[in-house]
Structure 1
C-alpha cells in the first residue's frame, strides 16, 4: 500500500508540473488546448487518487491528524507531493533507524 502511495505521489506531482509548465503555456501562448485536454483529466484522476491514498496510508505510516491534513493539502502545491513521498513515507518502526549494512 505504501509503495503504491509513493508511486501515486510522484505521478501526481509530475502531472501537475506538466499541466502547469507545458499544457497551460500551450493553451494560452499557442492557443493549443490539446495539452490541457490530455493532461487535465489525467492530473484530476491522479489528484483524487493521491488524496484518497493519503487516508489509506495514514495508519500504516503512523501519521497523526496534523500530518494527514498536511499531506492531503500538499496535493495543491506543485512539488509538495515529492516532499511527502521522500520524507514522510517510512513506516514508524524504520523512521529513525539507521540503514542496515550488509557485510
Structure 2
C-alpha cells in the first residue's frame, strides 16, 4: 500500500465495508429493534471514509494522470453497494 493507488484501494475496501455494515446491519437494527445508535456511529465513520476516498481519488487522478472517465467510474463505484470491491479488483489488475 505504499503507492497512491494502493492507498486508494485500501481506503476503498474499508469504505466499502463501512457502507455494507451501515446498509445491512445498522439500518435494519434501527428500524427492526429501535436501536439508532449504530447508524449514528457507522454513518459518521462511513462519511469520513467516503471523504478520504474522494480526496485520495483526486490525488491519484493528478499523480497518475487518469482519464476523467476512469475517475468518474471510480467515483460512481463508491456510491454503489459492493462497488468499491469491484473497483479494487480492476485496480489490482492494473498494478
Residue 85 of structure 2 corresponds to which residue in structure 1?
82
Give yes or no for the alignment of 1:13 onto 2:24: no
Q: Which runs of 4+ in 1 moved over 6 A?
A: none
Deviation per residue, 1:71-103 (Å, 9 max, x gap):
012111011111111212555xx5xxxxxxxxx
Q: Which residue of 2 aligns with 1:31?
A: 34
Higher helix share: 2
Give per-residue Cα distances to partners, 1:54-76, cap 9 Å, x unaligned.
11112444521101111012111
Q: TM-score, normalised by structure 2?
A: 0.86
Q: List alignment gaps of at least 5 residues for structure 2.
A: none
Q: Structure 1 length as normaliser, TM-score?
A: 0.80
Spell out the pairing of 1:64-75 with structure 2 (5 A cutoff): 64-75=67-78
Which of 32, 53, 60 aligns to 1:57? It is 60
Figure out how many residues of one structure are paired with residues of the other and give that number. Answer: 92
User: Over aligned residues, Cα RMSD in angstroms?
Assistant: 1.7
Contact 1:61 1:90 in 2 (8 A): no
- Secondary structure in 1 matching 2:54: helix
